[in-house]
Amino acid sequence: MLLRAEFRDYLTTLGRGREGPRKILGQWEGILQTDGYSAYDDIGGPKLVHVGCWAHARRKFVDAVKLNPKDGEAINMVTRMDACF
């Protein structure tokens, strides 16, 4: 059950370094969804929960299917992810 939700606008910086996210997030604690870029590693407070992006995760399974069209597990994951959206 979702008890409380907060929404924050999309934030961006001009560079791709770690200092931008570190400056914006500081010791913030909550759920942070990113694309997995390493600049987001080891930032935020001790209770920050870092979650991945479904689109980026799905892309890896699509790539696996392209490499091996008979990969049943990869096909199953793409199918299951597509059903979510």
pLDDT in tens, 4-37: 666 666 777 888 888 888 888 899 898 888 888 8
- Say yes or no to pLDDT of 64 above 70: yes
Judgement on whether residues 27 and 39 belong to the same structural domain of the protein: yes
Provide the whole-model pTM. 0.65
pLDDT recorded at residue 15: 85
| Residues 59, 51: Cα–Cα separation, whole Å | 16
Which residue, among 10, 8, 17, 6, has the nearest Cα to 41 in the 3D structure? Answer: 17
- Say yes or no to pLDDT of 85 above 60: yes
| Residue 36 included in any domain | yes
| Residues 56, 36: Cα–Cα separation, whole Å | 8
| Residue 4 included in any domain | no
| Residue 69 included in any domain | yes
The count of structural domains within the chain is 2
| Residue 43 included in any domain | yes
| Residue 3 included in any domain | no
| Residue 1 included in any domain | no
Could you tell me the sign of the dihedral formed by the alpha carbons of 73, 83, 6, 56, in that order? positive
Judgement on whether residues 45 and 61 belong to the same structural domain of the protein: no
Domain that holds residue 67: 54-84
| Residue 32 included in any domain | yes
